Each structure stands twice: as C-alpha cells, then as structure tokens.
Amino acid sequence: MHSLNNKVALINGGTTGIGLTVAKNFVDTGATVIITGRRDATQAASDIGAYFRVLDVTDEQAVKDLVDAVAKEFGNIDILVNNAGIAEDVGFIDASPTDFMKRCLDVNVMGVYYALKYAPSFMNDGGSIINTGSAAGSRTTMPGNSEYAGSKAAVAYITRSVALELAPRAIRVNAICPAIIAGTGMMAADDGSDESKFLGSLTALGRMGRQDEITGIYNFLASDSASFITGQEICVDGGLTAGIGLPMLGAMEGE
C-alpha cells in the first residue's frame, strides 16, 4: 500500500461498507481520518483509529460548516472521499416511486456537489478527491436501475468537469466505479446463495468482489503516486464491463 503519512482525509459516508473499509486502510497507511454519516458512529470510528462527525450530505449549509470545522481542527484537507450513496430495488421506471428518484439526486448527486463546491477551499494544493461512482453509471446498466444509474452517471461527468477546474491547483479528481462488491449494503452477501452465484457469474472472474479488493485503488489515488491521474472513472468490477465472460457463457449454455 502507498503511504498517506501526514495527510488529512475526510470520508463522507464512511461509517459502513466500502467507506469504513477505506477509512481503516487510510488510517493504517498513516492518514488522519475523519468519517461522516447521519447516524452516530463514534465507536466504529474509534475502533479503527479515526474520528467521527455527524453530517447529512444533503444539507448544503451542514456540508459547508463541516469542511470548515475539519480544516480548523485538523488542518487543511489533503484527501476527500465522497462515498455517501443510496440504492434500492424499485423496479421499472413506470412503477418506481418518484420520491426515490428525488432521494437519489439529493444523496448521490447533490451530496457530491456540495462537497465539491465547498471542500476545495479548505484543501491543500496537490490533494486528491475521490468520488464513489458505479459501473452502472459509467459503463453499463440494467433494467430497473434508471434512478441509481442516472445519479451515478451525473457523478461521473461532474468528476470530469471539476477535475479540469481544479487542475491548476494540482488537485486530482477521480471516480471509482465498483460493481458486484459483496457486503456493501447495496448488494447480496457472498454466501453461496443462488443470488450470489448469479451475480458472480456476471463477472469475468466468476465471483463477487470483496471490499478489501477495492481499497487498494482508493489508497493509490489518494497517494502522491497517482499525481498524474485525474478526471478518470476507474471500474473495479471483476471484468463485468469488459463484456460477456466465460462464467456467463457457461451459465447460458447450461440453460
């Protein structure tokens, strides 16, 4: 792993799943880490050596106040991870509740927008911003996924635009786009069930991914080793978006 010594990292949506796993990695590689979430996670943060602050990413003023407070308490931010997000199985668009689309936009898009609007003023030049996107919004999608995919597609293009805007300060802005990662709260558990076997068959590697298999790319992009990478969407999906893999072909032939 790459060293994050002497760096201050703010991870929005860092109390569970990928966000918490990334936070632990950042702590283990030397960073001072602050995780945020709507519900108290002081103990979870303490368990990994991080700090916790309450934040509703849909509240613009709260986001503005939070980045100001973090910079005053810990020093300017070096790493910002926008990981807060929601996803639900709501079915096809003609039957989906309109409120869900609004909530997707509020959390998945506006939450990222507010952080990108206010946090860079409190960041050191040469820092790194990592937005958690999704392969569903960058490379592929499926029926019944329009709200979530649409919101993550917005994140992908916001990432590109802000990367261009912050380039003069050498602040890099990238999106990591996971798919078929178990244990995130947005995907089935990798427990050998028929659902998990089906999901695994969608990838070229023939299995679901683990959370520890995605932390490395966050660590790399957060580090100085990735100083010439910006404006990119990087899929971590076991080959899902490369095309139809042998596991899926085998499943199709077995029908």
**Is residue 200 included in any domain, yes or no?**
no
Q: How many CA atoms are closer than 13 Å to the CA of 22, on its beta-carbon side?
A: 34
**Is residue 192 included in any domain, yes or no?**
no
Residue that the structure tokens 């792993």 belong to: 1
* CA dist list (Å): 255 to 94, 192, 197, 252: 30, 20, 15, 5
Total number of domains constituting the chain: 1
Between 187 and 20, whose confidence is greater? 20
**Is residue 217 included in any domain, yes or no?**
yes
Instruction: Dump pLDDT digits (tens) for 68-82.
Output: 999 999 999 999 999
Consecutive H or E run containing 150: helix 146-166
Structural domain boundaries enclosing 16: 8-187+209-240
DSSP conformation class of 36: E
- Strands 77-82 and 51-54: what pairing? unpaired
Whether 148 is a known active-site residue: answer yes
The single residue of 118, 148, 157, 218 carrying the catalytic annotation is 148
Q: How confident is the model at residue 245 (pLDDT cuts 50, 70, 90)?
A: confident
**Is residue 196 included in any domain, yes or no?**
no
* pLDDT score of 191 more than 80: no
CATH, residue 66 = 3.40.50.720
Compute the average pLDDT of residues 6-17: 96
- How high does pLDDT run on average in the chain? 92
For the chain, the 3-state helix, strand and coil shares in percent, each to the nearest 5, are 45, 15, 35
Distance from the first to the final alpha carbon of the chain: 43
pTM score over 0.95 = no
CA triple 171-174-180, angle to 5 deg: 155
Q: How confident is the model at residue 128 (pLDDT cuts 50, 70, 90)?
A: very high
